[in-house]
Amino acid sequence: MLSQSPVSAQLVLSCGEPRRIGFISTRFHGTDGVTLEARKWAEILTDMGHECYWMAGQLDTPPKQSHHVPLAFFRHPEILELQNELFGNTRRTRAITNRIQEIKNLLKDEIYHFIERFHIQLLIPENALSIPMHVPLGLAITEVIAETGIPTIAHHHDFAWERDRFVTSAVNDYLRAAFPGALPNVEHVVINSMAQKELARRCSLPSAVIPNVLHFEQPPPGIDDYNADFRKEIGLKEDDILILQPTRVVARKGIEHAIDLTRRLRDPRAKLVLSHPAGDEGDAYVQMLRERIEDAQIEVCFIADRVGLRRGVNPDGKKIYTLFDVYPHADLVTYPSLYEGFGNAFLEAIYFGKPVMVNTYAVYSRDIAPLGFKTITMRQLVSRNVVELAKRALTNEALRKEWAETNYRLALKYFSYTVARRKLLARLANLFGEAI
């Protein structure tokens, strides 16, 4: 530790007493945004000397540090059946109330066991007290915090009021109690300034903004012996233009705009690559995209079965690549989201020095764009100017290099691990009374 540079040594030495930290959510598995950010926080906290443990309904975390509770998964059949009764109407039966309480109590027992098993000293609920994907779990966490007074950092990625499907509810009483709730000894953390203002306005709760981050202090990986064959493996030629859409396939990602841009480039080499699977919002959007692709007469590669958290092989014996294996091969990244809590894919594109087409969703316009990033900016539609700028970015190497250098410098300043570490230190200091 003491052999580090003066700056990093100072950070390590000012972390206070090492703590045993328990992350809790419905899922820590795969490459969804909540899981990715939780892993980053755990990496930062571990580097600071703390120990991190995991509880969720679906896990791919180290088994010796994990407490697996299948009923905590938001796609557990019992939870799906229950949740369908709670939203889209304004009344619930007494039987439904009783079932919520039964599941809540089962989950409370598991949380207490988690805390006792690993001697947890600090809880970090990851979005479990934010968006009501699992109402009994949110209630269980809230009651455990109320009963134990355990110090807590509630990490909020998106809230119920940000999703249309949660507007009509038969559980408004529970939403007020636990999503996010109002308890002492809880530090609330949001990922953008709009959420901070809405949390204050709606719930009279103060919060800190810790944006999504990447390890910009370390240079990005490139093409190596393992991923060199990626293009060939997904059926692309070396001179094809790989346009990467690195998000889940859900309606709010605006993937129809990526299809439109690819079509309007009017280059047979332009191939759109979708790296993630569909989300949890039904099949209608996927079917609409397939119809758009057929009308556009472009080639689109769905490669979710070839992309995972770790390198390996899939059930068919084909190579699995990580997302960081995919990015070095991209010529252009599309990020035309209609709404985002922050924007992991945007940071990833910047990390790998790729030109990115980004829509002016609200958080981008408010928290990111004013910082001066160089992007292909679309305003709700793929205009002629967007297409022309995309063509310039694809053909002008000097422009790409200038953008990449500017963007990386800004991201290092505003969205690095150093930023998250400094802000997490402040949260710990507030909870444990330690000096920073």
Amino acid at 93: T
Indicate whether 70 belongs to any domain.
yes
Residues 337 and 375 in one domain: yes
Indicate whether 310 belongs to any domain.
yes
Give the C-alpha distances (Å, rounded to integers) separating 38 from 23, 172, 284, 353: 8, 28, 30, 24
For helices 94-118 and 135-148, angle between their N-to-C axes, nearest 10 degrees: 50
Indicate whether 222 belongs to any domain.
no
Residues 371 and 427 in one domain: no
Residues 279 and 258 in one domain: yes
Number of H helices, E strands in the chain: 16, 17
Indicate whether 75 belongs to any domain.
yes
Give the length of the chain: 436
DSSP label at residue 126: B
pLDDT tens-digit readout, 397-433? 999 999 999 999 999 999 999 999 999 999 999 999 8
Whether the CA torsion 18, 154, 345, 326 is positive or negative: it is positive
Indicate whether 1 belongs to any domain.
no
Mean pLDDT of the chain: 93
Residues 373 and 260 in one domain: yes
Say what the pLDDT of residue 33 is: 84
Domain count of the chain? 2
Residues 292 and 428 in one domain: no
**Among the residues of 119-241, which ranges form H helices?**
135-148, 172-178, 193-203, 230-233
**Given a cut of 60, is residue 3 above it in pLDDT?**
no
Give the C-alpha distances (Å, rounded to integers) separating 19 from 12, 51, 120, 123, 428: 14, 6, 8, 10, 10
Say what the pLDDT of residue 280 is: 59
**Distance between CA atoms of residues 226 and 106, nearest Å:** 45
Indicate whether 224 belongs to any domain.
no
Amino acid at 72: A
Whole-prediction pTM value?
0.88
Residues 408 and 424 in one domain: no
**Distance between CA atoms of residues 300 and 303, nearest Å:** 9
Residues 169 and 251 in one domain: no
Task: Report yes or no: 132 and 96 within 8 Å, Cβ to Cβ.
Answer: no
Domain that holds residue 286: 230-414
Residues 236 and 187 in one domain: no
**Distance between CA atoms of residues 325 and 225, nearest Å:** 11
Amino acid at 100: I
Residues 129 and 196 in one domain: yes
Phi, psi of 242 (to 5 degrees): -90, 110
Closest C-alpha among 45, 56, 38, 39 to residue 15? 45
The CATH number of the domain holding residue 255 is: 3.40.50.2000
Residues 189 and 106 in one domain: yes
Going by pLDDT thresholds of 50, 70 and 90, the confidence category of residue 17 is: confident
Residue 94 corresponds to which tokens in the numbers above? 């007494």
State what percent of residues in the chain have pLDDT above 90. 87
Say what the pLDDT of residue 2 is: 34
Say what the pLDDT of residue 8 is: 41
Say what the pLDDT of residue 229 is: 96
Residues 239 and 143 in one domain: no
**Given a cut of 90, is residue 343 above it in pLDDT?**
no
Q: Of 48 and 15, which is predicted with more confidence?
A: 48
Per DSSP, what are the bridge partners of residue 299? 271
Indicate whether 136 belongs to any domain.
yes
Indicate whether 219 belongs to any domain.
no
**Distance between CA atoms of residues 305 and 302, nearest Å:** 8
**Distance between CA atoms of residues 147 and 184, nearest Å:** 11
Q: Which residues contact 238 (CB under 8 A, 6 or more apart)?
A: 231
Residues 125 and 268 in one domain: no
- With b for 16 or more beta-carbon neighbours within 10 A and e for fewer, the 345-356 pattern comes to bbbbbbbbbbbb
